[in-house]
Structure 1
Amino acid sequence: MYLAFLVAAAALVCGAASSNVNRHMKLLDVDNRIQSNSISRVPPRRSITFTKRPPAKLVHRPGSTVELTCEAIAAPAPSVHWFRNDVPVYEYDKESNEILDSNPTSLARVSSTLLLSRAEETAKYTCLVVSGSKTARRSSVVFNIDGGTDLSERSKLAPLSPRVLVWYKVFVDVMGSNVALPCRVRGHPRPHIIWRDHYGNDVKSDPRMKVLRSGELVISNLSWTDMGEFSCTATNMFGSAEITTFLYPAKPSDTSD
């Protein structure tokens, strides 16, 4: 069932590449010792593991920006949803609600950040992580010290340099799969997004790859040659932001275990 957990190395993988893979696999709590023509079995995850969670309580002072971040590891690759007093967060922060179709054979470490730039009344914000039929949540109570609000349309359109809010730090799936790597960005004016492969080339040069308006990179028919760091760069007139996702194509199992 969990074919993506059969992490395999291709023949003649050099020592430097092996070290690079092992370094990234540690982000998934995976001990992946790559050897030529070897296959290491990675036990399937039975639960969602938080690697970073928002504080239980914090204060939002007028004129400041509060950042709430959730990071989690799960299989299938998890998605993150934010709630304010149990109501989904949409409007200007809708880009921080990551909704992706995830293959059951995938494994990933996801990072999602909610930016609170306007001082609102005290509220509970919840990070909900979903992985297949599994869910986990962590909440943070954000106190507004003066009770003031600024909900004007103008405040939503204030100049803002790009911030990447949702991405996978590491993503594993079976070769031959169609995968989607998120790069959800907030900024005003709307940032321009460019994805580059592990050679530094614009992915648009590969017919198997497509960048959606949402910022997601869709890769068809995942192959071993796709292994490596993919970078997403978001740019507008006020600055730029970049993240990287390490993509690992796994070899399907030849056994029934």
Structure 2
Amino acid sequence: MLVSAAACFTLIFSIAIAEKTPVNQETMIGNRVLTRKPFLKFQTMPKGSVLLSGEPLHLDCVTTGAPNAVIFWKKNGKTIREPYLAKRKEVELNDQKLVSETSIIHSILHIQCPTSGTYQCISSNGYDLIEANATVSIIGDSDEICFPSLAPRITQFDMFRLELNGNAVTLRCESSDQKATWTWRRDSKTLVSGGNVEVNKNELHIRNINWESEADYECEATNEFGSAAERTFLMPVTSNNNILV
């Protein structure tokens, strides 16, 4: 079962309380100081399935961790989706700062014309590496010609993001159509660049977050064949003597 938006707060807050990092145990990530002990866990693992020939494959992989993690996919040991690039803008803006970088990331593998094999979801945050396998079996032969969907699909997004007040945050979505047009919304209102907000295609940069930044943010990918959207909940938090509270 996937993590509901309402459950995200409880999940992250309970982990934050349980895994605080004392002042004398700071973790350096580049020029940034992580205010908690690094961790990485699966919240949802991809499930194996038996499909009839011609049926599409849909696998979900959800991780919880800090610092920011990447997710990639393999089939039978061979990479079929590379990890997406690091959030460079956020890293630059938070240089030499205390950071939380705690998030829930949802990666989706959708294959219109799958073949049998072992599919792997692999995630790494530079401190931990975790992987989960799903065995997929295809039964029968289909005479139908397989055409991939031309409408965009969201393939990865931040379900939940927790970061310290005053820091910068990059929210990102990825789409199956690299040329899709992107729209970002906050509480259903379309966002444009201005003030502490910068809209850059599939990335939303928010500088100097504060309590007013707490909200649902929606990314939508659109092309001539359709659209797809997902939402992220951003939660600012405070730090006290380098301990996440």
| Interval of TM-score (by shorter of Structure 1 and Structure 2) | 0.7 to 0.9
The verdict on how the C-alpha distance between 1:132 and 1:161 changes in structure 2, with shifts beyond 3 A counting, is same
Contact 2:53 2:141 in 1 (8 A): no
Q: Structure 1 residue 159: deviation in Å? A: 4.3
Match of 2:129 among 129, 135, 154: 135
The verdict on how the C-alpha distance between 1:81 and 1:192 changes in structure 2, with shifts beyond 3 A counting, is same
SS in 2 for 1:225: helix
Q: Give runs of aligned pairs for residues 21-100 of structure 1, distance below 5 A.
A: 24-28=8-12, 30-31=13-14, 41=17, 43-44=19-20, 47-55=39-47, 57-90=48-81, 97-100=83-86
Fraction of identical pairs, as percent: 21
Q: Structure 1 residue 83: deviation in Å? A: 1.2
User: How many Å separate the matches in 1 of 2:242 and 2:155?
Assistant: 39
SS in 2 for 1:162: coil
The verdict on how the C-alpha distance between 1:107 and 1:64 changes in structure 2, with shifts beyond 3 A counting, is same
Q: Structure 1 residue 167: deviation in Å? A: 1.1
The verdict on how the C-alpha distance between 1:115 and 1:209 changes in structure 2, with shifts beyond 3 A counting, is same
Q: Structure 1 residue 249: deviation in Å? A: 1.6
User: How many Å separate the matches in 2 of 1:86 and 1:109?
Assistant: 25
Q: Report the structure, 1 or 2, having the larger strand content.
A: 2
Match of 1:177 among 150, 160, 167: 167
Pairing 1:117–2:93 present: no
| Corresponding position of 2:221 | 234
Match of 2:206 among 198, 201, 219: 219
The verdict on how the C-alpha distance between 1:71 and 1:205 changes in structure 2, with shifts beyond 3 A counting, is same
Q: Structure 1 residue 133: deviation in Å? A: 1.0
The verdict on how the C-alpha distance between 1:23 and 1:143 changes in structure 2, with shifts beyond 3 A counting, is closer
Contact 1:61 1:119 in 2 (8 A): no
Q: How many residues align?
A: 215
User: How many Å separate the matches in 2 of 1:54 and 1:22?
Assistant: 22
Q: Give runs of aligned pairs for residues 184-195 of structure 1, distance below 5 A.
A: 184-187=174-177, 190-195=179-184
- The superposition leaves residues 145-191 of structure 1 with CA deviations (integer Å, 9 ceiling, x where unpaired) of 357899x9x94xx4433321211111011123232212112259x43
The verdict on how the C-alpha distance between 1:165 and 1:255 changes in structure 2, with shifts beyond 3 A counting, is closer
SS in 1 for 2:192: helix
Note the residue ranges of structure 1 that are not aligned, 5 or more in a row: 1-20, 33-39
User: How many Å separate the matches in 1 of 2:223 and 2:159?
Assistant: 23
| Corresponding position of 2:158 | 168
Contact 2:197 2:205 in 1 (8 A): yes
Match of 1:196 among 181, 185, 201: 185
Q: Structure 1 residue 207: deviation in Å? A: 3.9
The verdict on how the C-alpha distance between 1:256 and 1:106 changes in structure 2, with shifts beyond 3 A counting, is closer
TM-score scaled by structure 2?
A: 0.73
User: How many Å separate the matches in 2 of 1:142 and 1:149?
Assistant: 20
- The superposition leaves residues 191-239 of structure 1 with CA deviations (integer Å, 9 ceiling, x where unpaired) of 32211123x33321434333334x1222233333211111112233433
Contact 2:63 2:106 in 1 (8 A): yes
